Structure formats: C-alpha cells, structure tokens
Amino acid sequence: MKGMDIFEKIAEKIMSEILIDFPFLSEPVKFVHKVPREFKLKRSKWRNWRLEVKDNSGIKPLPMLREGGKPLGGPLQIHLVYVAPDLGRRYVEEVISDKNELLRQRFAEHNLGEIVSYSIKFYEWIEQNVGKTRENIRKVLIEAIKESSDLPEGVVVVPVVIGPSYRGWYYEDVKREASRLGKHSQIILWDNFVDMNEETAATLACDIYVEALIQENIDKLEELDGLVWRLANPADGEGETVYVGFDYSRDREGRISGAFALLCDSYGRLISVRHAPLTSDYITEEAARDIFVYILERASKYAEKKGLKKPVRVVFYRDGPLRPLERVNIVRGFERSLKALGLDEKVMCLDLVEVIKRHSKRMYSRYRGEITNPWFGEYVVMPVLSGFHDGRALVSSTFVDFKKIEEEGLDYTVKPVEIRFTSYSSRMSNIEKIVNEYLALTALNFWSPLRRPKLCLPLILAHNLANLTRIGVQPRLPE
C-alpha cells in the first residue's frame, strides 16, 4: 500500500507538470516539463478557424450549421429510400417513422434543406444464410431505386440501407449497385439505426447532404462556390496554389489497383478528380506526368473562368509516407508536365507533403489540471532527420469541443498527424506555411457536425474514392 501511495504522488507530480510526451527523442525521455530546445511549440491562426471560413449566412465568426450556418451548396429536397429488414413490418415501419422524423429535424436544424418524403422496401433477413441475405439486399435496392425515379423534379433520391447487424460483403453490393444507377448511398446497421441518437442523426444528415450535393453536381462542380463552406481568404495568402490529395486504391489482397488525385483551389473549392490506373505498388513517372498535366490544365481553365490568378504552385498531399522511388517519379513527372504544357520551370513550384497518421508520437495539453488533447491549430516543429525533407511537425488537426467533453464526461485520445514536406522550387516554402495551409483545408471537414476527422479535405475525398475502388465500385467522376 505504501508503494502505491508513492506511485500516486509521483503520478500526481508528473501530471501537474507534463506538457508534451516525446518518447521518440534520440535518448530515452518519457516525460518532459517543457518543449526541448530543438522543438518549437506554435499556435496557428487556425486555432480560431471559424473566423477564417465563410458560408451563405454572412455571419462572422462562422456559426456551426446547427447555430445558423447556411451551406454554400444551398438547401436540398431529399427523398430517402429505406431498404430495411423484414423483422415484422409494423414494428420496422414504426422504428423507421420515428428515426426518419429525427433525421428530418436534424436536417432542417442544420439548414441543409428538407427531407420531404420517404419510402420503405423490405428484404428478407435470413440469419443462417449470409449469402442469400446479401442477394436479397442487392435485388431490393435495385428495385427501390428504379421505383423512385418518377419523383418531382428537384427532389434528390438517396438510398439508406439498414443492414443486418453484422458486417458482411453486402456493403460492397450496395455501393456498387447504387453507383451503377447514379446514386450515392448510406449504410447503417440495424442495431445502430434502432439506437440512433441526436448526434448520430446529425452526422447522418450531414453525410446525406454532402453525398447528395456531389451526386447532383458531379459534372458541374466548378460552378459551385463550395460544398458547405469555404475559406474566406486563400490558404496560401496569394491565391496562386492548387492542392492535390493523392491516395492509392488497393484490392482486398492489398495490391495497387489505381490511384486518385483530387484537386482543390486556394479557397478549398472542389475542382475535379483524376483516376490513374496503376499496376505497380508505386506511382510511375508516366502516371505522375499525366496527373500533373491534367491538374495544371484543369486548374488554369478554372482560374480563368473564376477570374482568379493562374496557379504557379502545386501542393501534393500524400496519405502516408513516400518511398524514395515514388518521390523521384513524382518530381520527374511534374517536370515533364511543365515541358509538355510550355510552362516556366523557374516559376512553377511543387511541394510534396506527407501526412502520417500511424506513428508512435504523442502531443498533450493541460486543461483544468487534466491531461487532454491540444487545441486544434497547435503544433510542434521538429528537427528534420533525413535529407529527403525540408520540414517536419506534429499537428493537432482535430477539433476538440472542451465544453462537450466537460458536460458529457467524454474522453478523447486523438493522435496528432505528422507532417513532412519537401519543396522543389527556387522559392522554398517553410513548415509554418505548410502547416497553416493544411489546417486551413482541414477546417473544411464538414461531414461530421463535430469536425472530428484529422485529414484535410483533398485527402479525405481521395481516401473515400480509393476505398470505393478497393471494393470494386467504380465511382462516377467528372468528365
């Protein structure tokens, strides 16, 4: 017992003084009372991110959607098609009626528009036959989508599949068949649907809105001023940069089956997306060249159409670390694209940014005497450890709602992302600029009302598309 008392005193002492834990220093250091001199703790202006973005409300700082924010995409009219298990039709109908009303309220409360109607199609859920249940879901989904094709003009159809309470391959069937019929879809497990609370309903409402907006505007993304909100000022401060999110798509055996490059302008507005068919487990020089030609041509036309500055800089975000061969191929592909388009190599810039989610590093902050996550926008500049990088930082890119944590007794343990960058131009970027741009684009994560994702918008969209192709779905892309 005496030993336990001593341990508690030591723990209390540490907890009262610890700021950041760096178990990755050159010498074993578990707890430090201040940031080591080779590290620099900084706070981005994006800590107050609501001051830096805009929607259709004209209010500053930007209110969250449920506080009066109005999405740039405008209100939508939605018809939900529920594909539900036949567990007793009257009972299921009552559950869906109750939860649809909750969704309808959250949809309106978040100024997303209106869920004007819904319909239900039942499938047979055979507990002992997963394969048959999967086929039942697929057939009923197709019927449900086709039957909803005669709705009034302007009403967007969104299928919501309430799946069996186990994770099976029916997910792939739903995404594949819905995509084939030109629809984005939502999937929720039966148990989760029955237990759906207000927060889950709000998240699902935001999912439905964004997916429906993209579904209806896939060939005219350039005409939108943004999906939900956009940056009030360009992320780079000049409006001369385009941001590319890049992620590989893999099959179930982990083999590369292609890659997606998603393009946003300096304000975080979605311009287009490019799919690169690949057979190797890294991007080839030829594929990189084709991607950059597409990006620069599309971005230049977009800038001319919008009355913006023509881009002279490309920030290429990679989800995960780049291997040396990938880096070489990307840079050579970029150089070849400049020659192909007749662009001046001395003017054009390329910044490669690796966003690392899986690592052993941690960053902590103190809040009312407790150890918790740091604020959104706080980051630590770290020394560069290799000749491949020009800068490195640990970045807290996840918004932490301390008020909600305190009220509901929640315990969040979100890791920061590690950002590494390399500049390939005569105008060298710095880590502060790279981090601020990344946080700016992270402030556009609007899928969740609580903004929990840690990836920037271009990477999230590229990642989502890559996940679809991994399960055999060919998403509809801009022409």
- Listed by start position, the domains of the chain span 43-54+228-470, 77-217
What is the DSSP-derived secondary structure letter of residue 20? B
435 closest CA partner among 420, 450, 414, 453? 420
How many CA atoms, within 13 angstroms, populate the side-chain half-sphere of residue 318? 17
How many CA atoms, within 13 angstroms, populate the side-chain half-sphere of residue 345? 11
43-54+228-470 topology per CATH: Nucleotidyltransferase; domain 5 (3.30.420)
77-217 topology per CATH: Rossmann fold (3.40.50)
CB 31, CB 14: distance < 8 Å: yes
Q: What is the pLDDT of residue 38?
A: 62
Q: What is the pLDDT of residue 76?
A: 95
Q: How far apart are CA 432 and CA 413, in angstroms?
A: 25
CB 373, CB 406: distance < 8 Å: no
Write 452-455 long-range contacts (CB < 8 A, 24+).
452/398, 452/399, 452/414, 453/398, 454/357, 454/397, 454/398, 454/414, 454/416, 454/417, 455/319, 455/355, 455/357, 455/397, 455/417
331 closest CA partner among 356, 358, 349, 354? 349
Ramachandran class of 340: left when φ > 0, alpha when ψ lies in -120 to 50, beta otherwise: alpha
**Torsions phi, psi for 122 (to 5 deg):** -100, 145
Tens digits of pLDDT across the chain (479 residues) = 455 555 455 545 444 444 444 444 444 334 434 555 667 777 787 767 777 788 887 777 777 777 788 888 899 999 999 999 999 999 999 999 999 999 999 999 989 999 999 999 999 998 888 889 989 999 999 999 998 888 888 999 999 999 887 666 788 889 889 988 889 899 999 999 999 998 889 889 988 998 899 888 888 877 888 888 889 999 999 999 999 999 887 766 667 767 788 889 999 998 888 888 777 777 889 999 999 999 999 999 999 998 999 999 999 999 889 888 899 999 999 999 999 999 998 899 999 999 998 887 777 766 666 666 677 788 888 888 777 788 999 898 876 555 555 566 555 556 789 999 999 987 788 999 999 999 999 888 765 555 556 889 899 888 888 878 777 777 777 66
Q: The whole model's pTM is what?
A: 0.83
| Residue 89 tokens, joined | 């039709």
Report strand pairing: 241-250 vs 256-264: antiparallel
Q: What is the pLDDT of residue 476?
A: 72
Task: Please work out, in degrees rounded to the nearest 5, the angle formed at the alpha carbon of residue 135 by the alpha carbons of 133 and 138.
Answer: 110
Q: What is the pLDDT of residue 22?
A: 43
